[in-house]
Amino acid sequence: MPLQVFLNASLRRYVPGYDPYRGLTLEAPPGTAVSRLISQLGLPPEEVTLIMVNGIRRPPEYLLQGEERVGLFPPIGGG
């Protein structure tokens, strides 16, 4: 199942050659947890604090079904 994955801000540094305009197209079997996707990308799990799947916030245990758009975000600070 193809997934479209977008890394935001500091998470981009973990995937050499990442194109923020195109994201990543990845294959994963149905029922793959987002946490497994994070691990496969080599991202430190503690640095992924917000997961969006098709525009809806999801936990790391969320099981992907396919053809989804996944956004991963690091902690956000500011003031």
Its pTM stands at 0.92
Domain ranges across the chain: 2-73
Radius of gyration over alpha carbons of the chain, in Å? 12
Quote the tokens at residue 22.
């195109």
2-73 carries CATH number 3.10.20.30: yes
The CA–CA distances, whole Å, from 4 to 32, 37, 73, 78 equal 14, 12, 15, 28
CA torsion through residues 9, 4, 42, 35, sign: positive
pLDDT in tens, the chain (79 residues): 799 999 999 999 999 999 999 999 999 999 999 999 999 999 999 999 999 999 999 999 999 998 999 999 999 876 5
